[in-house]
């Protein structure tokens, strides 16, 4: 089996569980050394240990992506310990609770904006010189179909995810001459948060699967991680400014 990311170093934010964990494992499977950037070491270190058990270098770095200093420190430590930075995947998110715009507290808007939008900016700024030096730098942001088609139950979530797509398009234009690609993935996959929702609503899984042409939910490592590996590899060297919706076909509006 070939290792398309052999010799490269990747950072995945929010990699302590769910989609972030799946992407971290997939990138490691493709040969990349991985930094598991997690808000809490107790969730991130087990993922790093899982990667090391597969024979791939990995470290966990506690990182609050809403704090620019913390993001800069994480990137600096990555380069100091692993020697370079080729791929940064910004996956971390503050999970929203269902709300209506006329009654939701402003604190939820602030939390979503800090982690999703500001976090994307902090990651991009800290990573840029290293991605440029890499020669094949990749910035990947995890957005959502809600950022394209909206969400009646999450009217604050849609705008912050849409902002990531706009940032990716702008950075793709700005960084293209430096050889850096910038893309987004809009996933739907089984995560601990979704499992909790299924436990609270026995009909929810069936409804989601029924509206999905492939009739199943995505696997974080195999399905979402596979797209991340593609975007991080040389095979996607001519793909930039794009959003790949990986949701089994539920959204087909692009």
CATH code for the domain of 158: 3.40.50.720
Q: What is the mean pLDDT of residues 123-131?
A: 98
Which domain does 115 fall in, by range? 9-245
Give the per-residue pLDDT at 12: 98
Distance CA 54, CA 156 (A): 39
Give the per-residue pLDDT at 191: 80
Distance CA 12, CA 229 (A): 12
Give the per-residue pLDDT at 197: 74
Whether 18 maps to a domain, the answer reads yes
Structure tokens at 159: 């705008």
State the pLDDT confidence band at 105, using cuts at 50, 70 and 90. Answer: confident
Whether 199 maps to a domain, the answer reads yes
Distance CA 88, CA 183 (A): 11
Q: Does pLDDT of 86 surpass 80?
A: yes
Q: Does pLDDT of 100 surpass 80?
A: yes
| Residues, the chain | 254
Give the per-residue pLDDT at 194: 76
Q: Does pLDDT of 253 surpass 80?
A: no
What three-state secondary structure class fits 201?
Answer: coil
Distance CA 102, CA 104 (A): 6
Q: Does pLDDT of 34 surpass 80?
A: yes
Contact 64, 70 (CB under 8 A): yes
Give the per-residue pLDDT at 48: 98
Q: What is the mean pLDDT of residues 223-250?
A: 96
Give the per-residue pLDDT at 96: 78
Catalytic sites, residue numbers = 157
Whether 68 maps to a domain, the answer reads yes
Question: 102 φ, ψ to 5°?
Answer: -80, -10
Listed in sequence order, the residues at least 6 apart from 221 whose beta carbon sits closer than 8 Å to its beta carbon are 21, 22, 23, 25, 26, 29
> Mean pLDDT of all residues in the chain?
94
Give the per-residue pLDDT at 209: 87
Whether 2 maps to a domain, the answer reads no
Q: Among 67-71, 102-106, 159-163, where is mean pLDDT lowest?
A: 102-106
Whether 15 maps to a domain, the answer reads yes
Structure tokens at 164: 């990531």
Structure tokens at 252: 């087909």
Give the per-residue pLDDT at 2: 82
Whether 198 maps to a domain, the answer reads yes
If one counts the domains in the chain, the total is 1
Q: How many helices (H) and strands (E) does the chain have?
A: 10, 7
Whether 67 maps to a domain, the answer reads yes
Give the per-residue pLDDT at 202: 78
Q: What is the mean pLDDT of residues 51-70?
A: 98
> pLDDT of 7-30, one tens digit each?
999 999 999 999 999 999 999 999
What three-state secondary structure class fits 55?
Answer: coil
Beta bridge partners of 245: 186
Distance CA 120, CA 139 (A): 10
Q: What is the mean pLDDT of residues 145-153?
A: 87
Q: Does pLDDT of 125 surpass 70?
A: yes
State the pLDDT confidence band at 154, using cuts at 50, 70 and 90. Answer: confident
Whether 105 maps to a domain, the answer reads yes
Instruction: Burial-class residue 225 by CB neighbours within 10 Å (0-12, 13-18, 19+).
Output: buried
State the pLDDT confidence band at 1, using cuts at 50, 70 and 90. Answer: low
Q: What is the DSSP letter of 223?
A: I
Distance CA 111, CA 109 (A): 6
Beta bridge partners of 186: 245
């Amino acid at each position: 089996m070939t290792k398309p990311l052999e010799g490269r170093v990747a950072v995945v934010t929010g990699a302590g569980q769910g989609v972030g964990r799946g992407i971290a494992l997939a990138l490691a499977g493709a040969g990349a050394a991985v930094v598991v950037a997690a808000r809490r070491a107790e969730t991130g270190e087990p993922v790093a240990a899982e990667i090391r058990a597969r024979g791939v270098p990995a470290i966990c770095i506690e990182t609050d992506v809403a704090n620019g200093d913390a993001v800069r420190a994480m990137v600096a430590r990555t380069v100091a310990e692993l020697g370079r930075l080729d791929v940064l995947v910004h996956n971390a998110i503050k999970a929203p609770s269902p709300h209506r715009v006329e009654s939701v507290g402003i604190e939820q808007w602030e939390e979503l904006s800090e982690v999703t939008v500001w976090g994307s900016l902090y990651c991009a700024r800290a990573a840029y010189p290293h991605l440029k030096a890499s020669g094949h730098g990749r910035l990947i942001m995890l957005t959502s179909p809600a950022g394209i088609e909206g969400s009646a139950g999450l009217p604050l979530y849609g705008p912050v995810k849409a902002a990531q797509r706009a940032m990716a398009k702008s950075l793709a234009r700005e960084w293209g001459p430096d050889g850096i690609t910038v893309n987004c993935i809009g996933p739907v996959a089984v995560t601990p948060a979704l499992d909790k929702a299924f436990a609270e609503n026995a009909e929810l899984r069936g409804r989601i699967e029924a509206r999905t042409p492939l009739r199943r939910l995505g696997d974080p490592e195999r399905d979402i991680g596979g797209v991340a590996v593609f975007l991080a590899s040389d095979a996607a060297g001519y793909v930039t400014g794009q959003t790949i919706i990986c949701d089994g076909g539920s959204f087909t509006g692009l």
